[in-house]
Structure 1
């Protein structure tokens, strides 16, 4: 099973021959600001199993855990593509909106719901977390 995607202008693309390990919608303040939406839909892959073509520019800032998050953008069109989260070593988050086939995204959890605006309608079937659970708990929950 392969998953592929690209930025708006096509200068950055990616491919993985393995399925993602976890997925979820993050409603934290930073994800809302970076995406310009109510939440950021993300899929987490083993970083060494994601082939990235093209140049990226990274912006780093502290995440909810206090550890750094490194967000990768296309320097040409500005599409946010990836996030490397120090609290989840070895994984890389891919923004689901960059998928070539959007139907491949299947969220398993809603994170940082304490930051969600009242108009953000969430799937009631998904587990909800006020903040980000610890990496061990997260792995166990949505693997």
Structure 2
């Protein structure tokens, strides 16, 4: 299984299981986090992830008022993973940190209410204007 790491390799994640979910997110927080029009995210059960290296934590408040804890490499600045208080048993990982062109494709696209008009996605994934009904904040 592929591992994830920051740009300089100092912060690494190793996984014992495949992701529980892969998703694209178009929310403004993810756009700002990535510097791109949307983020590509993989979500894992926290007990199957081993983290090595040091991270710096940035805590942001989600629209719900709950905290999302972003972990980035203090050397190169890459945001590698995050934990949301709304989903304490899940860790989100930036798909770009895998640098794997055959990584599992996204199953859904969320917060399309703020999707850039020029972004065109096919119908092989589920599409949501916000979060899926009953969904927790994950990014």
TM-score by length of 2: 0.90
Q: Give how far 1:100 is off.
A: 4.2
Query: What are structure 2's unaligned runs of at least 5 residues?
Result: none
1:2-49 deviation per Cα after TM superposition (whole angstroms, max 9, x unaligned): 231211011111110201101100100000011011111000001121
Count how many residue pairs are aligned between Structure 1 and Structure 2: 136
- Greater helix percent: which structure? 1
Please, which runs of 5 or more residues in structure 1 have no aligned partner?
139-143
The CA distance in 2 between the partners of 1:123 and 1:112, in whole Å, is 16
What is the distance in 2 between the residues matched to 1:66 and 1:10?
A: 33
Q: Report how far residue 124 of structure 1 moved.
A: 2.6
Instruction: Within 5 Å, give how 1:130-141 maps onto structure 2.
Output: 130-133=129-132, 134-135=134-135
Matched, 1:89 2:85: no
Distance in 2 (alpha carbons) for counterparts of 1:51 and 1:27: 28
TM-score, length-normalised on structure 1?
0.88
Deviations 1:37-73 (A, max 9, x none): 1111000001121111100011111224332111110
The ranges of structure 1 where at least 4 consecutive aligned residues each deviate by more than 4 angstroms after the TM superposition are none
